[in-house]
Amino acid sequence: MSRPAIDARSFRTALGSFATGVTVITTRAADGTAVGLTANSFNSVSLEPPMVLWSLSRSAKSMPVFEQAEYFAVHVLAADQETLSTRFARSGGDKFAHLALESGIANLPLLSGCAARFQCRTSFRHDGGDHLIFVGEVLEFDSTERAPLIYHAGQYALSARKGGLGKPRSARMAGTFSEDHLGYLLSRANQQFYRPVRQQVHALGLTDEGYSLLCLLTLRHAMTPQEAMSLMGQSANAAAALLADMGDMGLIARKEGTPPRYHLTDKGWDVTLHLMAASKAREADVLNVLGEVDTFALKTLLLRLVREHGADQPDLWAEPEE
């Protein structure tokens, strides 16, 4: 009995459930032209001797060059190199235009900023159906702590370690939050992150809102009371009271005009930079605990949350209107 034919589309979808990194494989044509493509078929083969493999579609424009190439370089892309992946996934053309290249073994074109790089000599080429499998002996490699770019289910993704995290606990009473409730996690994380900074803020006689206003003034340099009110999400009265208090403390000064604008005084800059340094030190603490890869994943997800769920909120990083 013959087996039913495999549906190509669902086969591809099933393969996509295997999360991979993303690489760019480069080499040089006989005439010296740099050639490369994006590939996620990369895998390790042997430790002794050190060997890796990847496969190339027989329809790829770069096939004639790789078939002849004695050497190739594998670049494991870092999480912030998605544009490089897209660039090298286009077929043909000069994919290397305006890229700063390093030169590797046999003048291999090497890209910078990657998570890892392997320079190889082609050992074997195997038939692999509509692909050709290249096995290479690794002659040189270098690697960094950079977070890798991940490819999963046809999309770019990030890796984050689970770190032996136990199951989130449920509340004993029905109807209350569980330990993994997003709102709880965000506010608890914020509370824990800022505790030491807040202590310094309060020791200086400032309120949390006062510190926020100082930080905003480092971004905006001069703010009208109206802007202060909308960026701080406060009522007109609360914003006016805050501006007056901060003025009395000598941290901000008012420049008359229509409308008047507030800016940091020299003392205001000193205090703000001191507190911002404390915040940055806190960030370094988190980095130490979570590591580069997970910190990158955490920041990326928070950035998505802020951008995708805050359309009605003022954009603090927008250029101020003149």
What does the binding site for ligand FMN look like in residue numbers (CB under 6 A)? 22, 37-41, 54-57, 60-62, 85, 89-92, 151
- CA-to-CA distance for 309 and 315, rounded, in angstroms? 12
**Which pair of tokens denotes residue 190?**
């914020």
Q: How far is the CB of 60 from ligand FMN (least distance, A)?
A: 3
Q: Which is nearer to ligand FMN, 89 or 287 (CB)?
A: 89
Q: Which CB, 151 or 211, lies closer to ligand FMN? A: 151
Residue 115 or 271: the one with the smaller Cβ distance to ligand FMN is: 115
Q: Which is nearer to ligand FMN, 37 or 232 (CB)?
A: 37
Helix runs in 45-103, H state only: 63-68, 82-89
- For residue 172, the minimal CB distance to ligand FMN (Å) is 46
Closer to ligand FMN at the Cβ: 89 or 244?
Answer: 89
Q: 154 vs 163, which CB is nearer to ligand FMN?
A: 154
Q: Which of 102, 100, 114, 118 is nearest to 146 (CA)?
A: 114
Using CA atoms, how far residue 160 sits from 148, 184, 297, 302, in Å, is 10, 20, 6, 14
CA torsion angle 96 105 67 50 (round to 10): -120
Q: Among 105, 24, 102, 32, which Cα is nearest to 65's?
A: 32
Q: Count CB-CB contacts under 10 A for residue 180.
A: 12
Residue 169 to residues 81, 136, 164, 173, 185, Cα–Cα distance (Å): 37, 48, 15, 12, 13
